[in-house]
Structure formats: C-alpha cells, structure tokens
C-alpha cells in the first residue's frame, strides 16, 4: 500500500515531475532502428515521457530526435519532408537539421529572415542493438548509455521488439519483478495442451506455486531470487535482475539445471506518458548466434512478444478482451489467454491505467515490488533535493545476466552461482 502522494510521485512522468526528472537522467530505448531504416526514409512520431517528438534519419545517415511541433506555428513535423540533410515542415517550409538548427525559412524575405534565432528542441541519440536510444535530460548531466549485454552483442546474437501497453510504466515493471504470478497466470496443463504456447518451455519446477522470494538490493537495482522446491535435497532458483529505472532480465529457460549457456530475455518499460508504456523485449545469446527460426519466434512482430499490428499495438488487446477462450481455460490454460505477454497485459491493463495503490493488500510474495517502489520514489525525491542518481553514470553496472540454477539446499548462492551473474567482456563503447 502506498499513500496517494507517493503513488503520484511514482507514476507521473511529464516534464517537471519528480519521477519525470529522474527518468530523464537515463538513456532510454526510443524506437527500433528499423522504423527509420535508411537515409531520407519517412520520419516517425515518437512520444516519450509525455513529450511529442519526431525521429528521422537524414541524408547522411545521422539520426535526429526533435520536438514534433514546428516552432513557427506548431504544425506536426512527422508529416514533414525528409530530404537534403534536414526535415522540412510541410506548412510553410521551415527546415531543421538533426541538431534542431533552422537551416531554411523560405516564407520570409531574405531581409526579414531570422532562422539563426530559431532552434528546435533536439535530443541526443545513439544506435545500439538495433534500437535508437534517446537522452532527454539536462545537457550537462549526459553520460554513456547502459552497457546492457543485449545492446552490445553482434547482430544475430541479440534482438529487440516493442509493443504498446495501455497502462502506467510502474505497473508494468511490477509485473516484471513479480515472481509468484508465473505459477498461476502463466501456468497450463502441459499434458492436455502439448502445442499451446510451445515457444516458451515451462519448467517442471514451476509446479511449486509458493516460491520463497529473496531480494538482494544491489548498486544497479535488485537481484530477485525465487526459490522453489526441486528434488529432495535441492532448490530451483530463478534470479531475475531489476536494473533502475525500468529494466528486467528474466531468468533463462532451457537447461533447467544450469542456465550458463542459455540465452536470456528481458524487458524495458519506457513511459509514453502517465497512462501508456512501450514494453520493450530483448534477448541476448552470448554464446552463439540465434538461428533464423529462433529470431522469428522471438524477435519478429509475430513472435513470442507479439503478435502486434503495424503500430505495435498487440492483436490481443483490451478491446477484444484479449481473445480470452473459456474452453482453453477449462482445458488447463490458467488464464484462457494465449501468449505470456498477452496474459501479463490483460491483468496489468485491467487494473486501470494507473492502479490505486492505496487500496492494495501486499504480502510477503510482493517483497520485490515493495522494494522497487521505495527505491524509485526515494531516488526521485533525492534528485529533487539535488542528489543525482549514481546508476545513470555507471553504464558498466548494467553488464550483468539473469540466472536459473538448481543448487543444493545447503549451498550458498554467491558461492554456487556468483560468477554466473557477470555479463560478457565490454570490448568497445559502440557509439
């Protein structure tokens, strides 16, 4: 349970809000590189943290992320012409380069022309892991992007996708660090449904619906261990990583005894505004390239994190009740909804765009969620008091992995699995 005041701090992300200012200290995934695939391709609208922006790739291949409202009379720039090293407003022809400089003002006579005095809001960007990242904070506070392994691996060993989620970002993060829901929301009777959701193997150890949740606070966020009964003398541990402000790494599936050579997936929940979120999903396969089949199963618009339409809106959505199938439910699919991300979206969006946290009843299984809220609210308050978030300047903290492993009941976690949490070597800052 949270006070109304703290719930507002946690969920409001517009310019000038406490959380909005905190999030602006961090680089964020803004759009997929393939949305603006080549020089002079059509510009696209991007809305992040309640700001309407436009992204385009200019004739020289440089990426610009600008205000979407032309500074002349505020016409939308995403309808503009992208050509000859700049984006031109289709209303009166004012033209801007990727840095937001006005480079042409053709509706003014040369004597009255004042283009040198007009500048558009422009945010820095970098391309990593097939994603265009944006920094929307104060210029003097800019640092390097986080060294997340998936954003640095060679093409073919990583993927990134996004889908629209119609609720507040914190609500979505809370779903991502909620270990105990997996045994319910995502469970199914595999005997009866050999083909359902076959893209994700579900571990036999998930039958234990009462995981003991261990939360360890770290410099980058939290290591969340869900401990389930395995055999007589062992536990099955799934360690989800949470990295401030909105990343998770999900414990791998595949080899259930030891995930060391397995690929892993994760998410980033980037606020579009207070009531909408981009749910990013990514994968890292540090030890080999994904096969083509794996990449289309995971990374495509029709893959595991979809299906989505051309605007990245899920096909199963609140307007069609997520195509919940009561027959399927009777047969053993716990939710009656196909696809893990659709199951998550159904319960998270169904709470309403901003859940009223003053009305909740949290239990011991919600420990990670409680810690997440405390941590982020404190960071937002600290920044308002002048204390900068250290993690925004420590990109190397993000070079870690999630882990799934069966350990002896007596084993110490750090001794048994400690070395598995480190990410791969950082060879170069790929900027």
Binding site for ligand FES (CB under 6 A): 70, 72-73, 75, 89, 91-94
DSSP per residue over 278-339, as a string?
Answer: EEEEEEE-TTSPPPHHHHHHHTSTTSTT--B-TTS-BSS-GGGGGG--HHHHHHT-SSS-SS
Find which of ligand FES, Fe ion, none residue 69 binds, CB within 5 to 8 Å per kind: none
The CB-of-65 to ligand FES minimum distance in angstroms stands at 18
CB of 85 to Fe ion, least distance (A): 45
Rounded to the nearest angstrom, the gap between the alpha carbon of residue 203 and the centroid of all alpha carbons in its chain is: 25
Of 102 and 213, CB closest to ligand FES: 102
Q: Which does 70 bind (CB under 5 to 8 A by kind): Fe ion, ligand FES, none?
A: ligand FES
What DSSP state is assigned to residue 158?
A: E
Q: Give me the DSSP letters along 108-150.
A: S-TTT--GGG-B--EE-EEEETTEEEE--S-GGG--PPP--GG
Instruction: Choose, by CB under 5 A, the member of 21, 67, 344, 349 that binds Fe ion.
Output: 344
Q: Which is nearer to ligand FES, 45 or 374 (CB)?
A: 45
Find the shortest distance in angstroms from Cβ 91 to ligand FES. Answer: 4
Contacts of 375 (CB under 8 A, 6+ apart): 217, 221, 222, 244
Asked whether 298 and 282 are in contact (CB, 8 A), the reply is: no
Nearest to 163 by CA among 38, 321, 316, 274: 316
Q: Is the CB of 1 or the CB of 200 nearer to Fe ion?
A: 200
Q: Which does 424 bind (CB under 5 to 8 A by kind): Fe ion, ligand FES, none?
A: none
Taking the complex as a whole, how short is the minimal distance between the CB of residue 59 and ligand FES, in angstroms?
Answer: 20
- 79/315 with CB nearer ligand FES: 79
Q: Between 67 and 147, name the residue whose CB sits nearer to ligand FES.
A: 67
Asked if residues 88 and 80 have their Cβ atoms less than 8 Å apart, the reply is yes
Percent of residues in the chain assigned helix, strand, coil, to nearest 5:
25, 25, 45
Q: Is 147 in the site for Fe ion (CB under 5 A)?
A: no
> Does residue 67 touch Fe ion according to CB under 5 A?
no
Q: Which does 75 bind (CB under 5 to 8 A by kind): ligand FES, Fe ion, none?
A: ligand FES
H or E, element range at 7:
helix 4-11
Q: Give the count of residues interacting with Fe ion (CB under 5 A).
A: 1
Using CB under 5 A as the criterion, which residues of the chain lie in contact with Fe ion when the complex forms?
344
């Amino acid at each position: 349970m949270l006070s109304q005041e703290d719930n507002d701090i946690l969920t409001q992300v517009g310019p000038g809000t406490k959380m909005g200012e905190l999030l602006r200290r961090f680089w964020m995934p803004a759009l997929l590189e393939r949305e603006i695939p080549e020089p002079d391709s059509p510009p696209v609208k991007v809305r992040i943290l309640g700001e309407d922006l436009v992204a385009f790739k200019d004739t020289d291949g440089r990426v610009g992320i600008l205000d979407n409202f032309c500074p002349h009379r505020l016409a939308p720039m995403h309808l503009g012409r992208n050509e000859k090293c700049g984006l031109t407003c289709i209303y009166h022809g004012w033209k801007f380069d990727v840095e937001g400089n006005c480079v042409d003002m053709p509706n003014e006579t040369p004597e009255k022309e004042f283009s040198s005095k007009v500048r558009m809001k422009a945010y820095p960007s970098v391309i990593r892991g097939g994603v265009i990242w944006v920094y929307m904070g104060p210029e003097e506070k800019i640092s390097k992007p986080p060294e997340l392994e998936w954003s640095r691996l060679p093409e073919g060993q990583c993927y990134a996708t996004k889908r629209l989620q119609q609720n507040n970002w914190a609500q979505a993060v809370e779903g991502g660090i909620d270990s105990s829901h997996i045994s319910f929301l995502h469970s199914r009777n595999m005997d009866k449904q050999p083909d359902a959701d076959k893209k994700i193997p579900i571990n036999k150890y998930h039958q234990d619906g009462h995981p003991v949740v261990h939360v360890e606070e770290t410099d980058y966020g939290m290591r969340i261990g869900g401990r389930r009964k395995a055999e007589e003398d062992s536990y099955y541990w799934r360690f989800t990583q949470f990295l401030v402000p909105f990343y998770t790494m999900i414990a791998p599936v595949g080899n259930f005894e030891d995930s060391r050579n397995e690929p892993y997936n994760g998410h980033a929940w980037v606020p579009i505004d207070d009531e909408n979120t981009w749910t990013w999903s990514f994968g890292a396969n540090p030890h080999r390239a994904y096969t083509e089949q794996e990449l289309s199963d995971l990374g495509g618009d029709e893959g595991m994190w979809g299906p989505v339409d051309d605007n990245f809106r899920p096909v199963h959505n609140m307007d069609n009740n997520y195509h919940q199938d009561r027959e399927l439910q009777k047969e053993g699919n716990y939710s009656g909804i196909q696809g893990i991300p659709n199951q998550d979206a159904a319960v998270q969006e169904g709470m309403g765009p901003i859940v009223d946290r003053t009305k909740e009843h949290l239990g011991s299984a919600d420990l990670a969620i409680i810690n997440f809220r405390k941590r982020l609210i404190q960071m937002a308050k600290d920044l308002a008091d002048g204390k900068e978030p250290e993690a925004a300047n420590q990109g190397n903290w993000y070079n870690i992995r999630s882990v799934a492993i069966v350990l002896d009941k007596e084993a110490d976690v750090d001794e048994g699995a400690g070395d598995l949490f480190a990410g791969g070597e950082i060879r170069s800052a790929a900027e």
